Structure 1
Amino acid sequence: MSPARTVLIVGGGVSGNALAVLLRRAGVGVDLVELSPDGNVQGSGITLQGNALRVLREVGVWEEVRRAGFGFDTLGLIAPDGTVLHVAEDIRTGGPDLPATMGMGRPDLQRALAGAARAGGARVRLGCTVQSLEQDGDGVDVRLTDGTAARYDLVVAADGLGSPTRALIGIDDRPEPTGMGIWRVTAPRPAGVERTDLAYGGPAFIAGYCPTGEDSLYAYLVEPKRDRAELPPASYAEEMRRLAAGYGGAWKEIAASITDSSRINYTWFHRLLVEGPWHRGRVVLVGDAAHACPPTLAQGAAMSLEDALVLAELLTARADWDGELFAAYRERRMPRVRMVVENSVQLGRWLMDGVRDADVPGLIGRTMAVLSERP
């Protein structure tokens, strides 16, 4: 493969930055554009399963992630009053030398990946994105919103759930709400909280928290989605405290710390799975631009990272960057991604429908067994 090849990555999130690192390592020229002026360094916390950590290690940021986050190997199921009902050993989907789960601040993960992309030689521009593109059999002519233009051998749409690039190339799939909304907040970590604990039932469908560092965690409450126009951002702290008040144990301390509405994030759960080809000519989708699911299995970032790993592997191993390569990428990813999307949605549907005898442990166990295999 000629080292003169160039790729434009649209979107500087998890998949975009990981792909930039892997392609630069192989000598590919990489430009990365990110619409957010601050480089998308925002959000509360993130839960990373072992299969995500496996990719982060291959990208070269595992040690930074390990230092910034909090690893653990068990999952607690608790009653709304805080009583521990069961503690399960998590499957180490990334292999025996990585934790089953790592919690960390989402901004910390973003900084690690963005720093690695820049250190690897990716040319990064913030505050701009694709305005238009025209392609032929050999490349893509791109005009950016900052007025510059260039030609690339490949354009990768890593610009998220609402991907403008996906729409620009005529892929009409759009994300659909699943019926749930989630409140997220960062908070001090109460003494004794050393794993994720989940309570099903109470004022919300799910009340959970995940340690993200020596002194921090992020907490979340999942409920039926609401009209966001009726939720003034200034009311977020009061509303989340109201929901949290229905839970005991560590939630008492967590709820008391929820005072700053600007630190709270409220979003809906969405489902997306592009059923047709994930490319048009020399423009290809990765991550949330191709698929997204509720975080009920904590696999969103993992699937995006695996996309980047598989696409980079194919691009650096094959001489021809053509439709056959992009079809092979989709065919390799689709069964795994479909399983995660459908199972994540199913877990949420059981909760919304009030199914009491659902085989939640079985579904999770079967999914994690598959994810233990390399993508």
Structure 2
Amino acid sequence: MRNDRTVLVIGGGAAGNALTVLLRRAGLDVDLIEAKDDWNATAGSGITLQGNALRVLRELGVWEQVQASGYGFGSVGITAPDGTVLHAQDDIRSGGDDLPATVGMQRPQLQQILIDAVRASGAHVRLGVKATDFDQDDDGVSVRFSDGSEGRYGLVVAADGLGSATRAAIGITAKPEPTGMAIWRIAAPRPAGLTRTDLAYGGPAYIAGYCPTSDTTLYAYVVEANRDRASIPPETYADEMRRLTSAYGGFWPAITAAITDPGQVNYTWFDRMLVEGSWHRGRIVLIGDAAHCCPPTLAQGAALSLEDAWVLAQMLTEAGTWDDALLQAYYERRITRVQPVVEASVQIGQWQLDGVRDADVPGLMGRTMTMLRELP
């Protein structure tokens, strides 16, 4: 039996789920495996989705659910640490004028929407399963799995995230590198009158910000220099975050009062990575965080991953042959868009680490987001 148009997707996050839905819509057979038993064991409290991410979610057919679950807005404010608004400006509608500039939502809700779309697509999903071995030839890939089963595929897509085991297995040596910053995040009740993202630069943290995620919720975050995570006991996470946020005014006192449960506080370092040269070896190709990651200073991590899935699905379904030239063309199409975003995201953080006071952060943000209005 020929399996040259059958796809294995490794990883059930945003990129893997989006690709699965799009390929199934085109009539391709797709197997999706996810290493976790709980498909929605999603870390993090919230997510900011810019317009170019919303454009892909609309293409997936889930925009109405995202719109109903999240909170759309169109501007960003810059405040002093005491809460005084210094400047407010309209966000660039990077997904087009018929979509909001930004939607904030609770990350687990987005994941559940995508899970439901995968289930409805008819893809074959297995949870708690890993790919343990790959054997490639010119026609496809034979895969052995952690449950003892085997499969044969025309293409394997590694959407297994920042620490991708598949990336290492196919000999790509790129690894994520810390940028020097870390972020504390928490979901909290949304105070009345808070209707957009505001960012405070300065004070005890580099950035203190929040994003509304529904009519009643938000997620709040503070960015500082990264510390040895082993030196911060998890039971002190709420105390640590509250110590930082208590120095900020405006809506922050109400938010700070809700930071009480250390189990609800998420602490992670900022990383950067960009695989260059190609994102494939033979018939195994990387997408999303397995190929690139950047600090969330432009809120583009999920958007770039969703775009990867959209572009790869287009190219696979339109091509008569899946070969090296096609996968290299996918890389070349994506690298010209992804690289400037990764570099800009890192640069914004580096300016803060270096204490550069005259950095053109608004200009760099504006140029990058304007570029992202173009279709990927």
Q: Under TM normalisation by the shorter chain, which class is it?
A: over 0.9
- Residue number in structure 2 paired with 1:268: 269
Q: 1:22 and 2:38 equivalent?
A: no
The amino acid across from 1:15 in the alignment is A
CA distance in 2, matches of 1:372, 1:132: 40
- Residue number in structure 2 paired with 1:163: 164
Corresponding residue SS for 2:368? helix
- Residue number in structure 2 paired with 1:212: 213
Contact 2:4 2:153 in 1 (8 A): no
Q: CA-to-partner distance for each residue in 1:116-146, whole Å, 9 max, x for gaps?
A: 0110111111111111111101010101112
Q: 1:247 and 2:245 equivalent?
A: no
CA distance in 2, matches of 1:249, 1:36: 40
- Residue number in structure 2 paired with 1:8: 8
Contact 1:4 1:28 in 2 (8 A): no
Q: CA-to-partner distance for each residue in 1:130-168, whole Å, 9 max, x for gaps?
A: 111111010101011121111111100000001000001
Q: CA-to-partner distance for each residue in 1:182-217, whole Å, 9 max, x for gaps?
A: 001000001111000000010100000000001000
Displacement of 1:4 in angstroms is 7.2
Displacement of 1:326 in angstroms is 0.3
CA distance in 2, matches of 1:249, 1:126: 44
Displacement of 1:82 in angstroms is 0.5
Contact 1:180 1:225 in 2 (8 A): yes
Contact 2:4 2:140 in 1 (8 A): no
Contact 1:73 1:90 in 2 (8 A): yes
Corresponding residue SS for 2:200? strand
CA shift in 2, pair 1:4/1:289, >3 Å: closer
- Residue number in structure 2 paired with 1:290: 291
CA distance in 2, matches of 1:78, 1:200: 7
Contact 2:53 2:95 in 1 (8 A): yes
Displacement of 1:3 in angstroms is 9.3
Corresponding residue SS for 1:222? strand
Corresponding residue SS for 1:366? helix
The amino acid across from 2:281 in the alignment is R
CA distance in 2, matches of 1:286, 1:244: 35
Q: 1:343 and 2:344 equivalent?
A: yes
The amino acid across from 1:27 in the alignment is G
Corresponding residue SS for 1:190? coil
Moved over 6 A (4+): none
- Residue number in structure 1 paired with 2:55: 54
- Residue number in structure 1 paired with 2:236: 235
Corresponding residue SS for 2:205? coil
- Residue number in structure 2 paired with 1:65: 66
Unaligned segments of structure 1, at least 5 residues: none
The amino acid across from 1:33 in the alignment is I
- Residue number in structure 2 paired with 1:136: 137
Correspondences of 1:66-105 after superposition (within 5 Å): 66-105=67-106
Displacement of 1:74 in angstroms is 0.3
- Residue number in structure 1 paired with 2:199: 198
CA distance in 1, matches of 2:231, 2:41: 27
Contact 1:41 1:111 in 2 (8 A): no
Q: 1:256 and 2:240 equivalent?
A: no
Contact 2:40 2:112 in 1 (8 A): no
- Residue number in structure 2 paired with 1:357: 358
Contact 1:187 1:258 in 2 (8 A): yes
Corresponding residue SS for 1:205? strand
Displacement of 1:15 in angstroms is 0.3
Paired-residue identity, %: 66
Unaligned segments of structure 2, at least 5 residues: none
Corresponding residue SS for 1:38? coil
CA shift in 2, pair 1:3/1:64, >3 Å: farther
RMSD between superposed Cα atoms in Å: 1.0
Q: Aligned residues, how many?
A: 374
- Residue number in structure 1 paired with 2:311: 310
CA distance in 2, matches of 1:220, 1:40: 22
The amino acid across from 1:178 in the alignment is T
Q: CA-to-partner distance for each residue in 1:248-306, whole Å, 9 max, x for gaps?
A: 11110000000011111100000000012100000000000000000000000000000
Contact 2:3 2:153 in 1 (8 A): no
